[in-house]
Amino acid sequence: MRKLNLFIAFIVFCFFFSSCLKDEENDKEKIVEITIYPETGFGASVMSDIWTQPLIFSDNDDNQKRMLVDIIFEDLDLDYERGYKYTLKAKKVWMHEPPQDVSSIKYVYLEQLSKEKIITEDSEENFELFVSSKTVKFTPKFPSEYEGTESSPKIYNALHTKKTGTDNWLAIVEIEGFDFEEGYEYLLNVKKITQAEPYLIRYILLDIKSKTLKNTE
């Protein structure tokens, strides 16, 4: 009888252990609400050196704002317009074996829940801007621009900049009144104008605080 009990216990343990391994091999899933914010970010995929304008999003599972770059978002059906906030319903999947060079979390679009105009008034902001000595390749996204056909996106040599005191790099095609000379770093005072309708951002030079030759040795 004792041997029989031990054998049954062994069978139960093997079944339980096998079930645990099977659960670990499966992708974990959860239904979440995703917020797509009214202004885009700037960045590039790890597989590309061309900057663009990734969507900025968060989900109600962790509420962390991040750019939608190197993240799989299956079946995403969104006619995005800057200036609007979107709420989506999606499946959040923790992939057991994610592809290389992408996040281990992916999303599967289910439906759009809402679209709300957030930026409704024109605004202005003055701040100090650091400009790197080298430009970056940049293609606009919202709206996209093309060289003739939609198979050839327009690519600019954009200023590689960031607002002083932050770590958020920007790719700015033009600062009105500013003539960039490659090889020099700049500190500028600029005015950022956000136009609500149609949505548009402009940067205007107020003055050049410093211009420094970058040591390339």
- Render each residue's pLDDT in the chain as its tens digit; 217 residues: 554 444 444 444 444 434 443 444 567 999 999 999 999 999 998 889 999 999 999 999 998 999 999 999 999 999 999 999 999 999 999 999 988 889 999 999 999 999 999 999 999 999 999 999 999 999 999 999 998 877 799 999 999 999 999 999 999 999 999 999 999 999 999 999 999 999 999 999 999 999 999 875 5
Q: Residue 207 is encoded by which pair of tokens?
A: 């003055």
Please state, in angstroms and rounded to a whole number, the distance separating the CA atoms of residues 171 and 131: 10
CA-based angle 43:44:48, to the nearest 5?
Answer: 165
Cβ neighbours for 12, distance < 8 A, ≥ 6 positions apart: none
Tally the C-alpha atoms within 13 A of residue 87's C-alpha that lie toward its C-beta: 9
pTM, two decimal places:
0.82
Radius of gyration of the chain, Cα coordinates, nearest whole angstrom: 24
Cβ neighbours for 92, distance < 8 A, ≥ 6 positions apart: 29, 30, 31, 32, 59, 61, 105, 106, 107
Q: Say what the pLDDT of residue 10 is.
A: 44
Q: Residue 120 is encoded by which pair of tokens?
A: 């409704």
Write down the domain spans for the chain.
7-117, 123-213
Q: Say what the pLDDT of residue 106 is.
A: 96
